Amino acid sequence: MSIREDAIRGTVTPLFENCAANENVTVQALMQGVAAGTICIPKNKNHQFDRIMAVGKGLSTKVNANIGSSKDYPEVSQELQKLCVCLKAGADTVMDLSMGGELDAIRQEILKSCPIPLGTVPIYQSIAEVVEKQKKKIGEVTVAQMFKGIEQQAKDGVDFMTIHSGITRSTMDRVRNHKRLMGVVSRGGSFTIEWMSFNNKENPMYEHFDELLALLKEHEVTLSLGDGIRPGCLADATDRGQIQELIHLGELTQRAWEAGVQVMVEGPGHMPLNQIQANILLQKQLCHGAPFYVLGPLVTDIAPGYDHITGAIGGAIAGAAGADFLCYVTPAEHLKLPSAEDVHEGVMASRIAAHAADIAKGLPGAIEKDIAMAKCRNNLDWKGQIDLSIDPEKARRFREEGSSYKGDACSMCGSYCAIKVYKQATAPDRLQK
């Protein structure tokens, strides 16, 4: 029985009990969500970790952080260091997007050290191995190699996989007949399209979707339906190619559910902020309420070096509108592979967006954190403020950098603290008329 099948049959398992406790919902509510498909629990049967989490309706907005080697940085040690940064910063999941070095070994090492769900984009490895080791072209990877790669990763314990099954000939017709400014900016999407073009064949992840589902179900891998046609710039947002793929993703979502496989759906991308709400509504409608996993959205194209901020703006709006899962964006986006510091800043920016969204959605327990902070502020309780901060280390460091931080003052207002002045003005000894 898969997690989804257990939920549908109403079979209460320790996994559901563990997850419900962590998510602060009842076991019944969690299982109903999984059965309806509005919640997924990314948890491969071969990946052991204690704190089971879930993504979807009625739960806190989750944050994913990407790590991964490249040809220039093929060492697993660097990726394990970034994994630690992600965990410390509070990421809910991690994706290993490695394309350089010994990919099986890197993934297996990361999985061993990863106490949260791990995701991958399996096509990356298939392509990297064919290109780097066999010195062949992207189009020369075989369908068997693609499936073998997915199977290996599933056996290793990958909890969720991005697979670009929504890119079909029909999708590509629409991308081509409506000229985009930036074509396709998804790496997995571009690999898929190159394979289709080179071989003049349908996307094997679409054509052999049932086999894919059987494989994912066997190992209990959650399917994350990739948005290969996501807009790479504001001008391309919400165009016919993107929406055509989304229609396919909705159809594939239903097929996956029927096969007992858990699903989430990936989304844009670059998008003017006034289009975000409509895009969330569209995804929720076309994909029957499946959890929505957004990359950003980035609300402007002109801020390289600050895309953790453009992504936090879009992510907060998306989350408030119903997106369930935010893929972080780091300050290095569009410019370089992120450093450990970039990873930290990216996770923090996304966590802020997720929390702001949770408050807006009225999630129980969300604004309570802000109320606790406000009480500490009003009491000039600096220890409490730092402890309640989303990043206590940074808050402490900043406060200590202010010269007059001793006692209950900060260097911002010094002795002219509004809170103190207001308390004096409204103290009981003042005669109020």
Considering only residues 114 through 173, tell me which ones interact with a copy of itself, judged by CB under 8 A.
124, 127-128, 138, 169
The span from the CA of 90 to the CA of 352, in Å, is 11
Residue 161 labeled ligand binder: no
Q: Which of the residues 290 through 319 are near a copy of itself (CB under 8 A)? A: 299-306, 308-310, 312-313, 316-317
- Say whether residue 198 binds a copy of itself (CB under 8 A): yes
Coil, strand, or helix at residue 104?
helix
Rg (the chain; Cα; Å):
23
Residues 354-413 touching a copy of itself, rule: CB under 8 A, are 355-357, 359-361, 367, 369-371, 373-375, 377-378, 385-386, 388-391, 394-395, 397-399, 401-405, 410-413
Candidate list 1, 105, 181, 281; residue touching a copy of itself; CB under 8 A: 181
In the region spanning residues 29 to 88, those forming contacts with a copy of itself, defined by CB under 8 A, are 70-73
Neighbours of 176 (CB within 10 A): 11
In whole angstroms, give the CA distance from residue 67 to residue 223. Answer: 19
Q: Is 410 annotated as a binding residue?
A: yes
Q: How far is the CB of 130 from a copy of itself (least distance, A)?
A: 12
293 labeled binding residue: yes
Examine residue 337 and tell whether it contacts a copy of itself (CB under 8 A). Answer: yes
Q: What does the block give as tokens for 98?
A: 């490695």
Closer to a copy of itself by Cβ: residue 35 or 409: 409
Residues 6+ apart with CB under 8 A from 368: none
User: For residues 144 and 371, which CB has a smaller minimum distance to a copy of itself in the complex?
Assistant: 371
- Distant-in-sequence, close-in-space partners of 114: CB < 8 Å, separation ≥ 6: 47, 49, 83, 94
- Burial class of residue 290 (count of CB atoms within 10 Å of its CB; 0-12, 13-18, 19+): buried
Footprint of a copy of itself on 251-290 (CB under 8 A): 272-274
Q: Which of 13, 21, 45, 100 binds a copy of itself (CB under 8 A)?
A: 100
d(CA 239, CA 273): 15
Least distance CB 399 / a copy of itself (angstroms):
5
Q: What sign has the CA pseudo-torsion 311, 316, 319, 324?
A: positive
The runs of H, that is alpha helices, within 121-208 are 122-128, 143-156, 169-176, 187-199, 204-207
> Is the Cβ of residue 49 or residue 306 nearer to a copy of itself in the bound state?
306
Query: Judged by CB under 8 A, which of 31, 53, 63, 196 binds a copy of itself?
Result: 196
> How many residues line the site for a copy of itself (CB under 8 A)?
114
Segment contacting a copy of itself (CB under 8 A): 32-40, 48-56, 149-157, 178-186?
178-186
DSSP H or E run through 395: helix 392-401
CB of 258 to a copy of itself, least distance (A): 31
Check the annotation: does 422 bind a ligand: no
Q: Least distance (Å) from a copy of itself to the CB of residue 293? A: 18
| Alpha-carbon gap, residue 127 to 326, rounded angstroms | 26
Q: Is 90 annotated as a binding residue?
A: no
Both tokens assigned to 359: 């408050």
66 annotated as belonging to a binding site for a ligand:
yes
H or E, element range at 41: none
If binding is defined by CB under 8 A, does position 247 make contact with a copy of itself? no
Write down the least CB distance from residue 175 to a copy of itself, Å: 9
| Residue selected from 50, 407, 418, 428 as contacting a copy of itself according to rule CB under 8 A | 418
Q: Assess 177 for contact with a copy of itself (CB under 8 A).
A: no
Q: Would you say 61 or 262 has its CB closer to a copy of itself?
A: 61
C-beta atoms surrounding 337 within 10 Å: 16
Min dist CB 261 to a copy of itself, Å, is: 27
Flag whether 266 is marked binding. Answer: yes
Complex with a copy of itself: residue 172 or 265, whichever CB lies closer: 172
Classify each residue of 135-144 as buried b or exposed e, where b means 16 or more C-beta atoms within 10 Å of its C-beta: eeebbebebe
Burial of 243 (0-12, 13-18, 19+ CB in 10 A): middle
Q: Is the CB of 7 or the CB of 99 nearer to a copy of itself?
A: 99
CB of 178 to a copy of itself, least distance (A): 13
- 95 assigned to a ligand binding site: yes
What CA–CA distance (Å, rounded) separates 327 from 306?
Answer: 16
Q: Report whether the peptide linkage leading into residue 269 is cis, meaning its omega lies within 30 degrees of zero.
A: yes
CA distance 5 to 290: 16
Distance CA 237, CA 373 (A): 38
Q: Is 351 annotated as a binding residue?
A: no
Is 376 part of any known ligand binding site? no
Cα–Cα distance, 427 to 431 (Å, whole number): 9
Q: How many residues does the chain have?
A: 433
User: Which residue ranges make up the annotated binding site for [4Fe-4S] cluster?
Assistant: 410, 413, 417
User: Which residue ranges make up the annotated binding site?
Assistant: 66, 95, 124, 164, 186-188, 227-230, 266, 270, 293, 334, 410, 413, 417
User: Which residue ranges make up the annotated binding site for substrate?
Assistant: 66, 95, 124, 164, 186-188, 227-230, 266, 293
User: Which residue ranges make up the annotated binding site for Zn(2+)?
Assistant: 270, 334
